[in-house]
Homo-oligomer: A and B are copies of this chain.
Amino acid sequence: MQHYFMDQALTVGAEVSLPTAIQKHWLRVLRAKPGAQAEFVDDQQQVFIGELMDENQGTIKIVLQTDHDAELPIATTIACGLPKSGKAELMVQKATEMGVAEIIFLPTEWSVAQWKHKAGKKVERLQKIAHSAAEQSHRNLVPKVRYLDRFTDLLDVQVDQRVVAYEEAAKRGEVSELVRVVTKMQPGQRLLAVFGPEGGLSPTEVKWLQDHAFHVVGLGPRILRTESAPLYFLSAMSVLSELK
């Protein structure tokens, strides 16, 4: 069943006009006919089943509210050093499938890429990728994509716990901190995880993060590429908080 995000409140029984983008996809591309059903997520992250009434006017009737909840119990923000060209798209798509709440890109000491004046356009494009990945993976929300100008702006991200994935920690055999931090958290709390770009984070950056209450965590004994580490991390968040 298709899954679409609506910018409004929905209630069972309501008749609603579909926004142009959804009409275009569901009615023009997929050629839905009256009686066809799809999932519609309202502005409160509630998921409803809507039935197409009139394909020319693009109106639906909300027939059912579901209890669909595909969000990680611990809302997880990932902050990634600017990766090389083309990687950000893959990261946003896959992190969205894996349940990320928010994706931040920011310059780090060893980033080769620079976004600067291109950041606005990049974020806009990545936000569209997040939107379509959130539809595809049946999320209750579209993760927000943001660009931060300065590494130190990380301190403005309001969360309950902070971690940094650091390859050198993994090399030293650090295998317990991630589990320890996550299993102590409660559903509804928020976590921020920082990842380096291709060259990694600098020791200065890691030291600074540690000085600001970030826990250094290892992600197993293999060296993961920049775009793979957040995916391992988000899978780990799911295993530790959603599987039993």
Residues in A lying within 8 Å of B, measured CB to CB: 69-70, 94, 97-99, 136-139, 175-176, 178-179, 219-225, 228, 231-232, 235-236, 238-240, 242-244
Asked if A243 and B136 sit within 8 Å, CB to CB, the answer is no
Kindly provide the distance from the CB of A64 to the nearest chain B CB, expressed in whole angstroms.
16
| Complexed CA–CA distance, A69 and B173 (Å) | 11
Which of B97, B220, B243 sits near A228, CB closer than 8 Å? Answer: B97
- Inter-chain contacts of A98 with B (CB < 8 A): 222, 224, 228, 232
Out of B136, B179, B222, B232, name the residue touching A244 (CB < 8 Å).
B179
27 A–B contacts from the bound complex (CB under 8 Å)? A70-B221, A70-B223, A94-B228, A94-B231, A97-B225, A97-B228, A98-B222, A98-B224, A98-B228, A137-B223, A137-B224, A137-B225, A138-B223, A139-B222, A175-B242, A176-B244, A178-B243, A179-B239, A179-B243, A179-B244, A220-B238, A220-B239, A228-B231, A232-B238, A235-B236, A235-B239, A239-B239
Q: Are B179 and A70 in contact (CB under 8 A)?
A: no
